[in-house]
Structure 1
Amino acid sequence: MDHNAWSSRLLWLLDITEIVAFWHLYRIPIILSTFTVLMIIRTILHLKIPRERLSGTPLLASPRLPVEKEKSSIEAAGKKTLGEKVPRRIVGGLKKKSSEDGSRLGDGKIQILVFFSSLTGTTEKTAKVFTESLQQYTQDLSTSTTFLEPEILDLSYIDYDDYFINPPKSESATQYFYLILVPTYNIDTVLDNFLEHLQETHNDFRIDTAPLSPLLGYSVFGFGDREGWPTEEEGFCSQARDIDKWMSRLTAGKRAFPLGMGDSKKDAGERLQEWKEGVEEVLVHIAETGSLGEGVVGSGDAVESDVEDVDDGEEVLFEERNVAQRKTKIQKKDVLNDLEDLGRGLGKTDPSEPLEVDFTTYSKKTRTPATTITKEMVPKNSPTYTALTKQGYSIVGSHSGVKICRWTKSALRGRGSCYKYSFYGIASHQCMETTPSLSCSNKCVFCWRHGTNPVGTTWRWVVDPPEMIFAGVKAGHYQKIKMLRGVPGVRAERFAEAMRIRHCALSLVGEPIFYPHINEFVGMLHKEHISSFLVCNAQHPAQLATLAPVTQLYVSIDASNRESLRKIDRPLHRDFWERFNSCLDILKQRRFEQRTVFRLTLVKGFNIDDEVEGYAALVEQGLPCFVEIKGVTYCGTSSSAGAGLTMQNVPFYSEITEFVLALTEALQKRGLGYGIAAEHQHSCCVLIASDRFKNDAGKWCTRIDYQKFFELLESGEKFKPEDYMGGRDTGMGLLGKWRVRSQGRKGVQEGKKQATFTGSQG
């Protein structure tokens, strides 16, 4: 190598050495400076160039979507988002739907998923037949384009996370409806794991407590064996009940139809068909309206105004429960003034207003009806209408109403019926409470109706035809029953029974006998084999005298003398005492034509003290078939407080029994054949019956053979109350209870006490 080459190489080595030395000496400042320059450049580029979302990242798709649909949905999503500025959304838990989404369908489809579990294959076969039938039904509907073909899924072969943590996802806006058919086993099965999964999902703090709330709804049917588990409490369909409970919590209470249960050895087919028809009706309603139904628990709408509390632990219904129990106080300015208050409105009569028509005055003089009447009793824009609807009434026409009581809901949930079941065999969930007249001629201090119903002594309003009222009250009653199908504890079998009215209590509010066409209305009830229990306040003897036979006729006996009746009933008629006695005389004349009842509502401080003999005299005057003694129910209303009624006026049950003892003794002293027949402590009510209602064995038979009643009624021949007396005795064993209570009573011999209760052992 020549000298020049060595010189060049040496210089190159010297340059490298200097560069390395320079790097070692200044490397830290160089690195920091370079990092700073790069950060400045990155910041400038970030501000000037808009961020674009990459379309190459695939979207998550449901494993149940076909590959072609999955690809098309990904491409569509990519095209849609290309070039758009979309902010990132990072939230904890599940995304909740807005109130507008809820269970509304929009333009989507309904996918029915039928889940089942089976060990022996019986439930699997039943589920397949059920799904095929359901598919045929949805195809035949006019809204068939809304429904996709139902799918059947075995709980043993699916991943629970795909269906029971979130509903299956779909890019086509498909919404899902779950149906679950399961048997109950006394051995470990897949259902135990399924139930454990549902429970853990609800209690998992990492996700929402109701992750399945986007579902349109769900319903469960269970198969069981009553030979092994006779009742629900003992385990009949226990696993189906548990699934129903946890699904209610996971879906925020979207129980579309009550839990159905059938005995696999007896009535499973019949019960399943009954449940299927109910589910199909719900599906049609969802397809047409996009929701479970107005007021149905889980629909998001306000539920029935006085719905009972749900079962313990049903916290998912907390919001609906709050809505249901939120009572709006009626302002004084909105309260309808009583038109019959003395001294009010004198001199303000409009001469152009039609004259009143007096249908109620009991007099030998005939009155000529006035001309055309156009005034409505309860106009829709009136404070009375607003107040009654807020209390849960459905107003029919211009003067009628219907409402369901808490005992109807109690019976639907299997929690027992009211005293009418113990006394007369009436199942509360098959009973309709209505009235064809919201107006009354009394303003009783214990009235439950908050003093908001209209009052009057004469009928001066538009008269709605009975056909319209009958159809309207039935529709209103059924609508309120449907609103309860999502309430925990309601069973499909009881729900189906409730959708067939068998009894009608004409005692809701006002005075039913006040309605001019009451006989035609009662005739419509009887034509459909609906029993009639009519209550009147003993102020309309002319109407009472012309009343057609009813199943049972009540007269309210709220006091034993004129002054006491004036204070407690606050009647509007000036001749109220004369009217009262005339009604008792009419009842005595008709005691062999129909069952008659005196209803005594006891109010401490008003009609209990020193009035036993007076009541006994009234019983002797009217000789009713039965005497109901019931303690007053306090509502806590302002109207009651204004009348001087407080909780101190509500008698204890022990005080009711003491009064019954004294009254029975007084009746026996007068030689009247009456005895204690039944009691219902929950209702604070006791029944005294005439000896006419004892069977040959000397046992009380106060219940009614309703089929026999309608047969006798349709025969056209005369019959007596004893002819449709039920065969089952209703004695409740009062002797043992009251003998002890009555041992300390002075002036009454033990032998007389025993004689008083001899017939009550039943």
Structure 2
Amino acid sequence: MDNVNGLFGPSWSLDTGDIVELWHLYRIPIVLASFTVLMIVRTILRLRKPREKLSETPPPTSPSLPAEKTIAPLELTKKTSIEKIKAPRRIVGGLKKSKPSEDDIESGDKKIQVLVFFSSLTTTTEKTAKVFTEGLAHNIKEFSSSATFLEPEILDLSYIDYDEYFINPPKSEPNTQYFYLILIPTYNIDTVLDNFLEHLQETHNDFRIDTAPLSSLLGYSVFGFGDREGWPTEEEGFCSQARDVDKWMAKLTGRRRAFPLGVCDAKTDGPERLKEWKEGVEDVILHIAKTGGLGEGVAGSGDAVESDVEDVDDDDDNDEVLFQEQDVAQRKTKAQKQDSLNDLEDLGRSLDKPSADPSPPLEVDFTTYSKKSRKPEAPAIIKEMVPKNSPTYNSLTKQGYTIVGSHSGVKICRWTKSALRGRGSCYKYSFYGIASHQCMETTPSLSCSNKCVFCWRHGTNPVGTTWRWVVEPPEMIFTGVKAGHYKKIKMLRGVPGVRAERFAEAMRIRHCALSLVGEPIFYPHINEFLAMLHNEHISSFLVCNAQHPDQLAALTPVTQLYVSIDASNRESLRKIDRPLHRDFWERFNACLDILRERRFEQRTVFRLTLVKGFNIDDEVEGYARLVEQGLPCFVEIKGVTYCGTSTSSSAGLTMANVPFYSEIQEFVLALTAALNKRGLGYGIAAEHAHSCCVLIASERFKNESGRWCTRIDYKRFFELLEKGEPFRPEEYMGEETPEWALWGNGGFDPRDERVYRKGKNKVPLPVKKEEEEIEDEVVVVGGE
């Protein structure tokens, strides 16, 4: 008590021990007092709260009824609430599918749009799809008038933007609904179908997108063309890509498969199987027009039983879960039987226990939850980019390519044949001094990440965004491409007109143009391959498509680095290059920034391929902005070359898209004026009218006399490279650009003889001696 009294003394000082002692002495009274106060406060609050009315207008008591028969309002409320109780409560998983109302079904404003997608490498599927669509359009006109059918549209998967059709249905009128039909073959090589399947998978697994973003479709169906000669069974790959598309479309549409997957052997029963599938699809479309839905199916309207991965991933998505005693008991029994691990502590205890099984422990996935255990997947087999038994291999070899290994190639350029016969070299000789008959055109990667409309190899080379093929050593590729080049050169020694001295020079490769087909920097060992070229004093001219900034940043110095600049804005680039990367514009700008940083390490070039109707009109200022962003050493402006194939026309390219040389000259003058307005210091240096090509150069490549020096001193380049010290492009700047190559003089070598086709006589190109100013006159040489 002395201590307690000390607590309330004049000093009023408390320490921890005193407080604890005080609590032990008075804890019971404190607890009771606190409880009493809380009860008093609660009672006061309840008394102050107004009594709720049981109803706004309570039912009046009938005077004819006895008092004991009158139903009290409270009893009425209890009775009503009891009637509202329903048990057991049903919890339904997944999103509820909205069913179309009868008013919408019977409305005359409803429209159904059928979209037919196809993919074709040899145009066989394309022709079949067109005939199929025409027949479908004719038959649906006879359908019920309960819905308005729009004209079916046919779309090529190689040319559309997947985001516009396979993330959400196309945007159109509010009352328009879509029905998808997909006709695709199956290939054993990498084609656009691989990128399409990858897009479907990424869309389904993207956490930012609903797992079934296409659930608003009326339905879909897939038909596959296969070859039982090469793949007899489904396990061996018969119509495997069609089956994969059907599987992923089932996921993206919420299982809106309208008709089973149709497959056929294109060589035997193709027409019969396609006819049967077409009749079934038409019946389904008729049913949708009458009822507004797919009808009854498995686990939901129109749903089909899934297989393979879907059994694991989506098996329980739409099941109804009933919390009943029987279900709970069954789950408890299953849980007791299963030897499952619930948390990390259980896992650790299980690992401590000795096991008689000497096999290594199974992998545990801590990132994926599934009610069903997954079996470890076997490692994927890495395939070849261009197998020897593939259509791509046959197509490329027919075009004159020598395939080295499975992903590299070499080919003789037509300018090499022309230079051997003394009929002129390409524009690279006029601009940079490269003798065409000593130049090897090759690539270590036949795959590309773009599908450019002006590409000469439409559908004949693989496409992809990542390297997923067998990687062959650079030593084998380097040896193989040289052997292939020399073999083709030797085949020309009997051609009439080949000059003996130039044939002897051609047997010594001095230059290498890495611009044949595909994307050279895509090859994982491109730096090692470049080192082998430089060790033998072979210059390197590398062209990339500005879609791989990481590889471009890691690239070692080359003799001259090209970047294809095919458009001045995002939309135009998407239409003309048709890139596979979703972030293609960001990658494009990142590559321009890399070139700006490396403009003092090596010669950099912007290559503009002009296609009339695509990237010429009203884009001069846009190109000037890109030049200001990258500040390249040179800008090459070249008119597109039309290869004259059916694949080019299917890509929307005809002779009408090929600009005249006078149009190229007008564009060059306008671009130069735009660059001068920005004060960038560029001028027109040289031209090669035969190639429809003009060179704009930075004033860095003028000598003290103000003369253009666009050529390269290759001997000096290798001397600087072997020193291992940093050097600038000006240090291996060559001799003055010859007079005949300057702007206004045509650019044809006077030592050679210009030959015109169609039986015309050989007419030597006159050399213009006088120098003319850009603003005064534009001379068109050779009738271009």
Give the TM-score taking structure 1 as reference length. Answer: 0.50
Task: Report what 1:332 is aligned to.
Answer: 124
Task: Report what 2:245 is aligned to.
Answer: 346
Task: Report what 2:639 is aligned to.
Answer: 631
Task: Report what 2:539 is aligned to.
Answer: 531
1:672–1:488 CA distance, 2 compared to 1 (3 A) = same
- Inter-partner Cα distance in structure 2 for 1:758 and 1:719: 39
AA in 2 matched with 1:529: H
How do residues 488-507 of structure 1 correspond to structure 2 at under 5 angstroms? 488-507=496-515
CA contact (8 A) 2:431 2:737 kept: no
Aligned length, in residue pairs: 400
CA contact (8 A) 2:540 2:560 kept: yes
| Other structure's SS at 1:422 match | helix
Candidates 629, 647, 654, aligned match of 1:646: 654
- Inter-partner Cα distance in structure 2 for 1:445 and 1:695: 40
Candidates 693, 698, 718, aligned match of 1:690: 698
Task: Report what 2:318 is aligned to.
Answer: none
- Inter-partner Cα distance in structure 2 for 1:411 and 1:330: 34
Q: Does 1:446 align with 2:454?
A: yes
Shift of 1:737: 9.2
Shift of 1:496: 1.0
How do residues 100-119 of structure 1 correspond to structure 2 at under 5 angstroms? none
CA contact (8 A) 1:441 1:511 kept: yes
Candidates 702, 705, 708, aligned match of 1:700: 708
AA in 1 matched with 2:195: E
Shift of 1:736: 8.4
Candidates 544, 552, 562, aligned match of 1:544: 552
String of CA shifts for 1:184-226, please: whole Å, max 9, x gaps: xxxxxxxxxxxxxxxxxxxxxxxxxxxxxxxxxxxxxxxxxxx
1:405–1:330 CA distance, 2 compared to 1 (3 A) = farther
- Inter-partner Cα distance in structure 2 for 1:654 and 1:670: 25
Shift of 1:735: 5.4
Shift of 1:637: 2.0
Q: Does 1:557 align with 2:580?
A: no
AA in 2 matched with 1:734: W
- Inter-partner Cα distance in structure 2 for 1:386 and 1:543: 30
CA contact (8 A) 1:628 1:687 kept: yes
AA in 2 matched with 1:340: N
1:396–1:665 CA distance, 2 compared to 1 (3 A) = same
CA contact (8 A) 1:430 1:498 kept: yes
Candidates 388, 395, 398, aligned match of 2:396: 388
For structure 1, list consecutive stretches of 5 or more residues without a partner in the other structure: 1-328, 352-369, 739-752
- Inter-partner Cα distance in structure 1 for 2:776 and 2:544: 30
CA contact (8 A) 1:675 1:757 kept: no
| Other structure's SS at 1:533 match | strand
Task: Tell me which moved more, 722-731 or 549-558.
Answer: 722-731
CA contact (8 A) 1:677 1:730 kept: no
- Inter-partner Cα distance in structure 2 for 1:391 and 1:441: 21
- Inter-partner Cα distance in structure 1 for 2:247 and 2:533: 42
- Inter-partner Cα distance in structure 2 for 1:628 and 1:331: 34
Task: Report what 1:734 is aligned to.
Answer: 743
- Inter-partner Cα distance in structure 2 for 1:481 and 1:348: 50
- Inter-partner Cα distance in structure 2 for 1:541 and 1:759: 38
| Other structure's SS at 2:649 match | helix
For structure 2, list consecutive stretches of 5 or more residues without a partner in the other structure: 1-120, 126-184, 201-241, 249-307, 310-377, 748-771, 780-784
Candidates 477, 480, 487, aligned match of 1:479: 487
1:527–1:647 CA distance, 2 compared to 1 (3 A) = same
AA in 2 matched with 1:402: V
Candidates 683, 708, 722, aligned match of 1:714: 722
How do residues 344-383 of structure 1 correspond to structure 2 at under 5 angstroms? 345-346=244-245, 374-383=382-391
- Inter-partner Cα distance in structure 2 for 1:624 and 1:484: 38
CA contact (8 A) 2:688 2:746 kept: no
Task: Report what 2:139 is aligned to.
Answer: none
Task: Report what 1:416 is aligned to.
Answer: 424
How do residues 19-168 of structure 1 correspond to structure 2 at under 5 angstroms? none
| Other structure's SS at 1:658 match | helix
Shift of 1:374: 2.4
Shift of 1:626: 0.1
| Other structure's SS at 2:195 match | coil
Task: Report what 1:583 is aligned to.
Answer: 591
AA in 1 matched with 2:560: Q
1:435–1:733 CA distance, 2 compared to 1 (3 A) = closer
- Inter-partner Cα distance in structure 2 for 1:757 and 1:667: 19
String of CA shifts for 1:510-549, please: whole Å, max 9, x gaps: 0000000000000000000000000000000000000000
- Inter-partner Cα distance in structure 2 for 1:706 and 1:736: 25
Shift of 1:450: 3.0
Shift of 1:636: 1.7
CA contact (8 A) 1:678 1:730 kept: no
- Inter-partner Cα distance in structure 2 for 1:611 and 1:699: 30
Q: Identity of aligned pairs, percent?
A: 81
1:518–1:401 CA distance, 2 compared to 1 (3 A) = same
Task: Tell me which moved more, 633-642 or 492-501.
Answer: 633-642
- Inter-partner Cα distance in structure 1 for 2:478 and 2:722: 20
AA in 2 matched with 1:332: T
CA contact (8 A) 1:702 1:730 kept: no
Candidates 605, 615, 625, aligned match of 1:607: 615
| Other structure's SS at 2:429 match | helix
CA contact (8 A) 1:677 1:759 kept: no
Shift of 1:383: 0.7
CA contact (8 A) 2:687 2:744 kept: no
- Inter-partner Cα distance in structure 2 for 1:390 and 1:736: 38
- Inter-partner Cα distance in structure 1 for 2:659 and 2:511: 30
| Other structure's SS at 1:734 match | coil
- Inter-partner Cα distance in structure 1 for 2:632 and 2:699: 11
Candidates 414, 428, 433, aligned match of 2:441: 433
| Other structure's SS at 1:630 match | strand
AA in 1 matched with 2:124: K
Shift of 1:347: 5.8
Give the TM-score taking structure 2 as reference length. Answer: 0.49
| Other structure's SS at 1:426 match | coil
AA in 2 matched with 1:447: C
- Inter-partner Cα distance in structure 1 for 2:507 and 2:658: 35
